[in-house]
Amino acid sequence: MRFECGPEWDRRVINIEPKGRIGVLMSGGADSYILYQLLRKIPDCPHIHIFWIETGGTTGPGWDLVETVQKLTRRYDIHEITEFLHHTINDTPDYLPFDQVVIKTNDWIVEKYSLDILYNGTNMNPPTEFFPEFPFEYEQHWSIPEYTKVKAPFLHLYKYHILDLGKQYNIDISEAHSCNTFPTAEGHCGECRSCREKVWGYEQLK
C-alpha cells in the first residue's frame, strides 16, 4: 500500500506490502506504533506478530516497557525478547556498532520465529545543524542489507514525515513514550534529544 507524507516542501512516499508471516518490532515509542497501525490499515494484511526487546543498556529499568506496548496495542500476546545481542566495547573482538547489533538481533528473531518479514520503525536522524548540542553520532544514518528479511519502511523518512502519517490516519500517540531522560512512569522531560526531535518534527509540519 502506498503512503505519501511530509510537508509540501518535502513530500516522500513509502510502500508497505506485508506478505506471509510478518512481525513488527515495537519499543513503545511513536515511530513503531505508527508503523504498527499503518500495517493494520492495509487490506488483507496478515496477522501481525509483535516483538519487544528488553534492551536495558545505559537507560536501565523503566524505559521501553513491554507494558507500554501492551497499552498502545491492547494486545497481550507480545513476544518478549530478552536475548539482545551484546554491543559494548567489552565484548571485543566481537564488538559491533549498535546499528549492526540491532540488525543481527532482528535477523535472529526472523529465523527463530520463522518470519517472512520483520518490520521496524528505524528512521533518519535530524541533521546536526538543528541540534548542535547533541553529539555528531546522531547524524549517522542506518542501513539495512537488501538480503535481509528485516524491513524498515521509514528508513528514508525524518520524524516529521512519520508524525504526518500519524496525523493523516488519526493515530493517537499520546500514550507512546520516547523520552531518553525520564522513565515511562514519569512522562517526558521535554529537553532530551528524543523530546526535542518530536517538537522539531511538529514544527516542520506547520
We report the CATH number of the domain holding residue 82 as: 3.40.50.620
CA atoms within 13 A on the CB side of 7: 11
Burial of 63 (0-12, 13-18, 19+ CB in 10 A): buried
Specify whether the CB–CB gap between 144 and 101 falls below 8 A: no
Question: Which three cell numbers mark 9?
Answer: 516542501
pLDDT band at 79 (very low <50, low <70, confident <90, very high): very high
Instruction: Give the angle subtended at the CA of 101 by the CAs of 153 and 200, to the nearest 5°.
Output: 50
Task: Work out how many domains the chain is built from and give that number.
Answer: 1
Residue 53 cell numbers, joined? 526487546
Asked whether the whole model's pTM tops 0.85, one would answer yes
Note the pLDDT tens digit of each residue in 191-204: 888 899 999 999 99
Domain limits for position 199:
2-204
22 has a pLDDT exceeding 90: yes
Alpha helices in the chain (DSSP H): 30-41, 66-73, 98-112, 159-168, 193-204
Instruction: Grade residue 78 by pLDDT with cuts at 50, 70 and 90.
Output: very high
What number is the average pLDDT over the span 111-121?
A: 96
